[in-house]
Amino acid sequence: MRESRFWFLMEGEFGAGYAHVLADSLVLSEYQKTAKAALESGVSPRDVWEAVCDQQDVPVDRRLGRDIAPKP
């Protein structure tokens, strides 16, 4: 996953304004860093997205975006 896709998913799930606030303030338990800091330190965007989803209880059926159904 590219970082641009990460931001597309973040904005789709949390809204364009709040996505960036969340990325700057939510400390991900798995990395002990904010989502933004984790990206800047080289953690893959996919791993950061999954950590955000886990911590924010994003349902599995919304983790690929609104118009892409997950594979069974």
Q: Which pLDDT does position 27 carry in this prediction?
A: 97
Pick the more confident residue, 61 or 65.
61
Total residues found in the chain within this entry: 72
Q: Return the domain boundaries, the chain.
A: 3-59
Q: What is the mean pLDDT of the chain?
A: 92
**pLDDT for 70 beyond 70:** no
Mean pLDDT of 22-34: 96
**Could you tell me the maximum CA-CA distance found in the chain, to the nearest angstrom?**
33
**pLDDT for 66 beyond 90:** no
